[in-house]
Amino acid sequence: YDYDLVVTNGVCVTAADIAAYDVGIKDGKIALLAPAGSLKGAKTKQLIDAEGGYVMPGGIDCHVHLQEPSMFGKGYSADSFETGTRSAIAGGNTTIVAFAPQQKNLDSVLTALENTHKLAKGNCYCDYGFHLLVSNPCAKALSEFKQLVTTEGVTSLKIYMTYAALQLRDNEILSVLLAARQNHILTMVHAENGDVLDWLTDQLEAQGKFAPKYHSNSRPPVLESEATNRAIAFSSLIANTPILLVHVSDPAAALRIRQAQTTGQPIFAETCPQYLFLTRDDLDKPGFEGAKCVCSPPPRNAEDQLKIWTGLKNGTFSVLSSDHCPFRFEDSERGKKTCITPEHPVGKFKYIPNGLPGIETRMPLAFSANKLALTKFVEVSSTNAAKLYGLYPRKGSLIPGVSDADLVVWYPDGKLGDLEVTNSMLHHDVDYTPYEGRGIRNWPRYTILRGKVVWDRDGEGIVGGKGYGQFVKRSQSILNGIWEEVDEEGPFDLERL
């Protein structure tokens, strides 16, 4: 055989190009891109007829929480590495980057990483990497950053400006940024002012306002734009250390990011489907129903959604990630309902675990919305994630001989008719989706990981194996040459302040 798999009759889309061509796959790699139809008669073990549907690099979801301990209040991550990555492939993803959480009582980030490896190893359906989640940046932890990069293949970390169990003080943030800069680690920042939202929460509770919808009042947009501005200021203070603002929801924060980018600062940003498809009204439902849409930052309003779409189109946001952070609803012990008591039948919003399931719906929702050019869709759902997080060009592209044969194949336009998202069609271990009943027009038909079909929607669905997904060691970020600029600037120097 010349090929293990040939995908014929597809319209291939990368972040750069759209053209009809056939894809020849051998030994898990893209082997050949050839004129449309020319590989139909090739000697191949398996042939897929894409029937004019789009063929793209597989989705890369670089913001995923799986099997994390209860750190965000009550509740436990509903998805394990097994169920979360199973859901990922059914939604067109071939790689995820999940968090390896360091808890405050742990002084080592390497131990945190090792603990997370144990949870993931042998359990994943797609390829995976880890970001360190740093909550205790003590001297020992900072001294381990070098090893994260040089031997562990972990080149990014996340810090929090909120959540008691995770929040860093400003001086701690600066220490992390400095150590990250010295080791070429990209720092992801959760920008919300935790002290202010705690104060607002107390004010709301003092007035008897406990319902899920008040989660939104406790975290108004200014908390996000203030913290975003502070993070950008710290990046510039530490000699322009690259940072990435995660899950941006507030247009004022996006504008501040855009402004910093325009002045040449290495500021990157991510947004998520919940800020494109949900609004604060989704939290205002009878009883406790609104808890299904409680995440942080909270969904904003319809005009804000339009501005966030604009930010994706104009490049303010490099990536669209899910921030999959699922909690079960009908689980009074471990899920969203942990906060319901006889005294508080609608719970207390401050105890609702923050986060939504969305690993499987990210690609179908964004594709179906038809708001991004196809090349842009590939860029923000795959290619930029690969570049930002040091996976490119092995992932996120279709370069013969170089890229892994990671593909998502969509149905030809119109073939599926009108579809609706329902929780019953999803493969996560969560008892709801915040997108129940939403109309969509396409769904990944095949997901192919290193040349093997792992999702076949018209066949048996999940056909990949648990454990087929491999840990991928990542290199440093290459998006916009960020570390070259840092090296040009030279080390952080107090004399220059």
> Applying CB under 6 A, which residues contact ligand URP?
65, 72, 190, 247, 295-296, 323, 325, 354-355
Mark the segment that binds Zn ion (CB under 5 A) among 31-39, 186-194, 268-276, 474-482: 186-194
Compute the distance between CA of residue 338 and CA of residue 275 in angstroms, rounded to an integer: 25
What's the closest the beta carbon of residue 4 comes to ligand URP, in angstroms?
38
- What, of ligand URP, Zn ion, none, does residue 487 touch, CB below 5 to 8 Å by kind? Zn ion
SS3 annotation, 173-219: HHHHHHHHHHHCCEEEEECCCHHHHHHHHHHHHHCCCCCCCHHHHHC
Shortest distance, CB of residue 490 to Zn ion, whole angstroms?
Answer: 9
Q: Does residue 231 contact residue 243 with C-beta atoms inside 8 Å?
A: yes
Q: In sequence order, what are the residues at sequence separation of 6 or more whose Cβ sits closer than 8 angstroms to the Cβ of residue 253?
A: 191, 221, 224, 225, 228, 229, 245
**Any contact of residue 190 with Zn ion (CB under 5 A)?**
yes
Q: Is the alpha carbon torsion for 430, 434, 438, 444 positive or negative?
A: negative
CB under 5 to 8 A by kind: which of ligand URP, Zn ion, none does 191 bind?
A: none
Strand order in the sheet with 243-245: 59-64, 93-101, 127-133, 156-160, 186-190, 243-245, 267-271, 319-320
Q: How far is the CB of 345 from ligand URP (least distance, A)?
A: 23
**Is 267 or 272 the residue whose CB approaches ligand URP more closely?**
272
State the minimum distance, in angstroms, from the CB of residue 323 to ligand URP.
5
**3-state SS assignment for residue 437:** coil
- When the beta carbons of 322 and 384 are compared against ligand URP, the nearer one is 322
* Contact of 47 with 87, CB cutoff 8 Å: no
4 binds Zn ion (CB under 5 A): no
406 binds Zn ion (CB under 5 A): no
* Residue 235 token pair: 């990046």
**CA 260: distance to chain centroid?**
23
**Closer Cβ to ligand URP, 68 or 152, answer by number:** 68
Residues 6+ apart with CB under 8 A from 166: 71, 72, 104, 133, 135, 160
Among residues 224 and 323, whose Cβ is nearest to Zn ion? Answer: 323
Q: How many residues bind Zn ion (CB under 5 A)?
A: 3
Q: Please give the Cα distance from 179 to 167 (Å, whole number).
A: 18
Nearer to ligand URP, 352 or 408 (CB): 352
The answer to whether the bond into 326 is cis (omega within 30° of 0) is: no
CB of 370 to ligand URP, least distance (A): 26
Q: At residue 7, what are phi and psi to the nearest 5 degrees?
A: -110, 115
Please, what's the b/e burial string for 104-121 (b: 16 or more CB within 10 A of its CB; e: otherwise)? eebebbbebbebbeebbe
Q: Which stretch binds Zn ion (CB under 5 A): 26-34, 315-323, 363-371, 473-481?
A: 315-323
Please identify, using beta-carbon distances, which residue of 224 and 323 lies nearer to ligand URP. Answer: 323
Give the residue from 139, 138, 226, 149 showing the smallest Cα distance to 187: 149
Phi, psi at 338, each rounded to 5°: -60, -20
Tokens matching residue 423? 């929780």
Beta bridge partners of 6: 24, 47
Nearer to ligand URP, 65 or 86 (CB): 65
Considering the complex, what minimum distance in angstroms separates the CB of residue 72 from Zn ion? 9
Selection from ligand URP, Zn ion, none that 113 binds (CB < 5 to 8 A by kind) is: none
Closer of 85 and 397 to ligand URP (Cβ): 85
Residue 214 contacts which entry, Zn ion, ligand URP, none (Cβ below 5-8 A, type-dependent): none
Partner whose binding site includes residue 454, from Zn ion, ligand URP, none (CB under 5 to 8 Å by kind): none
323 binds Zn ion, rule: CB under 5 A: yes
Residues 393 and 16: their CA atoms lie apart, in Å, by: 13
Ramachandran area for residue 315 (φ above 0: left; ψ -120 to 50: alpha; else beta): left
| Other CB atoms within 10 Å distance of the CB of residue 170 | 12
In whole angstroms, how close is the CB of 297 to ligand URP at the nearest point? 7
Q: Considering the complex, what minimum distance in angstroms separates the CB of residue 95 from Zn ion?
A: 17
Nearest-approach distance from CB 324 to ligand URP, in angstroms: 9
CB of residue 99 to ligand URP, shortest distance in Å: 8
Binds 295: which of ligand URP, Zn ion, none (CB < 5-8 Å by kind): ligand URP
Return the range that interacts with Zn ion (CB under 5 A); candidates 45-53, 185-193, 457-465, 468-476: 185-193
Alpha-carbon distance of 443 to 365, in angstroms, equals: 9
Q: How far is the CB of 98 from ligand URP (least distance, A)?
A: 11
For ligand URP, give the closer residue by CB, 257 or 407: 257
Interacting stretch for Zn ion, rule CB under 5 A, among 115-123, 131-139, 446-454, 485-493? Answer: 485-493
Residue 219 in contact with Zn ion, rule: CB under 5 A = no
- Residues found near Zn ion in the complex (CB under 5 A): 190, 323, 487
